[in-house]
Amino acid sequence: MSNKTNMKFGILCNFYGFPEYLDSVLQSWKDLDKSKFIFSAVSCKYDQYKEVGYIKEDKDTISILNSKYKDLFLKITSGEISNDSVSRNFALKPLIESDANYIWLLDGDEFYTVNEISKIVNFVEQNQFVDWFKINFKNYFNDTSHWVDGFNPPRIFKVKSSTNMRFYYENDILYETGSRSIDYKSLSSLEIPKSVSHVKHFSWCGDKEFLK
């Protein structure tokens, strides 16, 4: 078991479609202890967008990342067309190679406070026997004043030594050893209580064309 003070969190940033949120999303993360937090980012247009007729390109996100936040990230990856799992796998590899103990997913419409990050880290460190964690979000819709409850997706996954990790669908991970694959859903998990964190998530806000 890792020593609490030596735990390293790999923040996997999947950013596309909300360049106007980028500064606010990264505000609480950019000055954290670099020995405890490492960052990798990917920005790809999902193939689902093309399927539903959304043709607008987001070139601003990758431009902002490369110009303003280049020093924050181990690696910044961009691409033309991808999907959730493939995109996250691009950003996952550098975090694994840099000895992250946990992978923490951060999307471009999720707004953590410094206090929420600190309390989540403490919660995870106090429950090191657990393999993955759900985080509760305030799911905002239409505007930034109204939100609904009940959205608590998987967000933090333990890295297991001598085991390959890969995303196979959106937030879903497989642990692979040789020919054996284990779905994270069969492993131990905890939902991080709202008393620890209840994070803003602008899931259904922003560009009306994008949200259509």
User: What CATH number is given to the structural domain containing 153?
Assistant: 3.90.550
φ, ψ of residue 51 in degrees (nearest 5):
-65, -35
User: pLDDT by residue (tens digit) across 45-61?
Assistant: 766 556 555 556 889 99
Residue 152 is assigned to a structural domain of this protein:
yes
Per-residue pLDDT, 165: 96
The pTM of this model reads 0.91
The answer on pLDDT for 143 being more than 60 is yes
Return d(Cα 181, Cα 184) in angstroms, integer. Answer: 10
What is the count of structural domains for the chain? 1
Residue 153 is assigned to a structural domain of this protein:
yes
Per-residue pLDDT, 139: 84
The whole domain housing 52 covers 8-211
Residue 150 is assigned to a structural domain of this protein:
yes
* Lowest-confidence segment of 65-69, 107-111, 113-117, 161-165 by average pLDDT: 161-165
Q: What are the CB-based long-range contacts (under 8 Å, 24+) for 67-74?
A: 68/23, 69/22, 69/26, 69/30, 69/41, 72/26, 72/29, 72/30, 72/39, 73/13, 73/39, 73/40, 73/41, 74/38, 74/39, 74/40, 74/98
Residue 3 is assigned to a structural domain of this protein:
no
The answer on pLDDT for 1 being more than 60 is no
Residue 27 is assigned to a structural domain of this protein:
yes
Per-residue pLDDT, 100: 97
Per-residue pLDDT, 175: 97
How confident is the prediction for the chain on average, in pLDDT? 88
Residue 1 is assigned to a structural domain of this protein:
no
Per-residue pLDDT, 11: 98
